[in-house]
Amino acid sequence: MSPAPDDLTALSLREAGSGIAARAVSSRELVEAALARIAARDGKVGAFLAVTAGRARAAAAEADARAARGERRSELDGVPIALKDLFATKGVATTAGSRILEGFLPPYDATVVERLQAAGAVLVGKLNMDEFAMGSSNENSGYRPCANPWDLSRTPGGSSGGSAAAVAARFVHGALGTDTGGSIRLPASFCGVVGVKPTYGRVSRYGVVAFASSLDQVGPLARTVEDAALLLEKIAGHDPRDLTSSPRPVDDYLGRLEEGARGLRIGVPREWFQGGLDAGVEQSVRGALATYERLGAKLVEISLPHSKYGIAAYYLIAPAEASSNLARYDGVRFGLRAEARGLKEMYAETRERGLGAEPKRRIMLGTYALSSGYYDAYYLRAQKVRTLVRRDFDAAFAACDVVAGPVAPSVAFRLGEKTADPLQMYLADVFTITCNLAALPGLSVPCGLERESGMPVGLQLVGRPFDEATLLRAARALEREVGPLPAPALG
């Protein structure tokens, strides 16, 4: 008898892959189970912008044929996954969540897409997101809202909201997102999944729609730390097509996963627990820190004195870079074009119709910060503050191996709660943003459910440059103690 579809979708990525290898389950069964669950449940979640059923079925048939011959591309061969709609997929529409890219068919695959395909992973669809990855709630999607699978009246977080929601809702066994100021870790925390933002330069961004190029980084979202490590191992490593991609060899993330927390020095930044942090979140995070202590880790109080300037520096640097990156959406080479008499009119008309409020707001802010007479006061000063933020971490890592604290000041907030006030929305990233500014690796790992709301809370871990292995090992140690979260009700 074959297993029930909902038992299949509940498998971890590792379990699904092992099942295929052992011929206990087929890629076809896994893909059909995923497609059936998406068809039945995603109407009210809104995690997907497009489901690629035909391609997924064809890829599954190939994976099953390989399995029948005893061939195996990797542990992921035949396992259904999905991608934030920011990754170029050859011949598959890629929108970046924006109407200005509606119908755009990339002529090539992003490097991470090539790598996942080479590993045999089966793409079942493209995931919802804030337009051009600008947002913290997925409410800036140009297409449809996305809800939190734990409570459909709340946001999944953003900007990789669809990625976190799809993994939490058991639509897929893993997904990729991007993180510029918290866009993987925040939704991972809100949806109760594991989300990793690797060190800047660890994962290639070739074929990833650019938002803020000195901050953007690609990373995995999954239901277990091991699954996130598996995905990261597949996508990490040098790519000659991305000039910011580091040639450093990739560590053995899986090999070090079970080393435990004994002897680990965990830095607890004073500034991350001062004001603005909800009591329920603080309680969960403190609980996780106590668990680490019980496991033999040493808690060290540290100070990151420039943390409070993170949002301000970020909202000059990121919009400045975005205003330049988004200049390419002008109706000339791809995407939407509005017909107009002259060239300048065509640019303005196209951008007016194709871009939503948040990209426009950030383009305005960035253009202002870079404009004549303001550059030194805003952009240059923000880059100097960025140096100070990085120095804070460098000093802290003399005394500790990882930094731990909350991912967000609250659990997932309600849909519509912050949409009227952009600054309030920006402040949701207050704890995640310094990690991007300092170009460090960070992750979110579930540390329990908040007592009052029953919503998941994530613990944030930030590490030394290129030390993802220690972060994952520390996250795994906590995961073993916390145990798996219950499945969200999707109600």
Partner 1 sequence: MALSLEEVRRIAALARLRLSPEEEETFAVQLSAILGHVEQLRELDVSGVEPMTHALAEGAVPLRPDVLQESLAPRDALANAPAREGTCFKVPRIIE
The reply on whether position 365 binds partner 1 by CB under 8 A is: yes
The answer to the question of residue 206 lying near partner 1 (CB under 8 A) is no
Sequence length of the chain is 491
Rounded Cα–Cα distance for residues 383 and 309 (Å): 12
Interaction between residue 351 and partner 1 (CB under 8 A): yes
Kind and range of the H or E element at 146?
A: none
**Options 72-80, 419-427, 467-475, 481-489: segment touching partner 1 (CB under 8 A):** 419-427
Residue placing its CB nearer to partner 1 in the complex, 34 or 101: 101
Q: Measured on CA atoms in the order 261, 262, 264, 265, is the torsion positive or negative?
A: positive
Q: Which of 26, 160, 183, 204 is catalytic?
A: 183
Please state the closest distance from residue 439 (CB atom) to partner 1, in A.
4
Cα–Cα distances (Å) from 21 to 44, 61, 75, 385, 486, in that order, read 34, 14, 8, 51, 27
* Cα distance between residue 451 and residue 424, in whole Å: 24
Of positions 164, 215, 289, 408, contacts partner 1 by CB under 8 A: 215
**Could you write out the DSSP letters of every residue in 409-477?**
SSSPPBTTSSTT-HHHHHGGGTTTHHHHHTT--EEEEEEEE-TTT--EEEEEEEESTT-HHHHHHHHHH
To the nearest whole angstrom, how small is the minimum distance from the Cβ of residue 390 to partner 1?
6
Residue 211 as a binder of partner 1 (CB under 8 A): the answer is no
When asked if residue 197 is in the footprint of partner 1 (CB under 8 A), the reply is no
φ, ψ of residue 478 in degrees (nearest 5): -70, -45
H-type alpha helices, 303-356 = 310-325, 343-354
Q: Per CB under 8 A, does 395 bind partner 1?
A: no
**Closer CB to partner 1, 139 or 226, in the complex:** 139
Q: Which is nearer to partner 1, 150 or 315 (CB)?
A: 315
Is there binding between residue 107 and partner 1 (CB under 8 A)? yes
Catalytic hit among 26, 27, 84, 410: 84
Shortest distance, CB of residue 185 to partner 1, whole angstroms?
Answer: 17
Dihedral in degrees, nearest 10, Cα atoms 117, 238, 382, 197? 50
Whether residue 262 contacts residue 203, with contact meaning beta carbons closer than 8 Å, is answered with no
- For partner 1, the binding residues in 19-78 under the rule CB under 8 A are none
Question: For residue 44, how many other CB atoms are within 10 A of its CB?
Answer: 12
Q: Is 439 left (phi over 0), alpha (psi -120 to 50) or beta?
A: left
Catalytic residue among 159, 160, 246, 444: 159
Burial of 70 by CB count in 10 Å (0-12 exposed, 13-18 middle, 19+ buried)?
A: exposed
Contact between 111 and partner 1 by CB under 8 A: the answer reads: no
How many binding residues for partner 1 (CB under 8 A)? 71
Whichever of 200 and 292 has its CB closer to partner 1, that residue is 200
Residues 6+ apart with CB under 8 A from 130: 97, 136, 137, 138, 139, 140, 141, 158, 159, 161, 183, 358
Among the listed residues 463, 465, 453, 460, the one whose alpha carbon sits nearest the alpha carbon of residue 478: 460
In whole angstroms, the minimum distance from the beta carbon of 315 to partner 1 comes to 6
- Pairwise CA distance, residues 253 & 219, whole Å: 14
183 classed as catalytic: yes
Is residue 342 involved in binding partner 1 (CB under 8 A)?
yes
Among 55, 66, 286, 390, binds partner 1 (CB under 8 A): 390
**Dihedrals phi, psi of 289, to nearest 5 degrees:** -65, -40
Among 144, 303, 371, 454, binds partner 1 (CB under 8 A): 371
Q: Verify binding: residue 472, partner 1, rule CB under 8 A.
A: no
Task: Please tell me whether residue 363 binds partner 1 under the rule CB under 8 A.
Answer: yes
360 included as an active-site residue = no
CB of 236 to partner 1, least distance (A): 15
Q: Which is nearer to partner 1, 174 or 310 (CB)?
A: 310
Which range touches partner 1 (CB under 8 A), out of 1-9, 18-26, 250-258, 335-343? Answer: 335-343
Judged by CB under 8 A, does residue 4 bind partner 1?
A: no
Q: Binders of partner 1 among 223-262, rule CB under 8 A? A: 240, 243-247
> For residues 148 and 436, which CB has a smaller minimum distance to partner 1 in the complex?
436
The CB-of-348 to partner 1 minimum distance in angstroms stands at: 4
Least separation in angstroms between CB 129 and partner 1: 20
Crossing angle between the packed helical segments 13-21 and 225-235, to the nearest 10 degrees: 70
Binding partner 1 (rule: CB under 8 A), the pick from 65, 105, 290, 395 is 105
Applying CB under 8 A, among 327, 395, 399, 489 the residue interacting with partner 1 is 327
| Closer to partner 1 by Cβ: residue 214 or 283 | 214
Give the residue from 489, 462, 480 showing the smallest Cα distance to 196.
Answer: 462
Is the distance from CB of 244 to CB of 131 less than 8 angstroms? no
Which residue lies nearer to partner 1 by CB, 249 or 255? 249
Q: What does the angle CA 213 – CA 215 – CA 216 come to, to the nearest 5 degrees?
A: 70
Q: Is 265 in the site for partner 1 (CB under 8 A)?
A: no
Stretch that binds partner 1, among 20-28, 124-132, 149-157, 354-362 (CB under 8 A): 354-362
With binding defined as CB under 8 A, does residue 323 bind partner 1?
Answer: yes
Residue 176 φ/ψ, nearest 5 degrees? -110, 145
Active site residues: 84, 159, 183
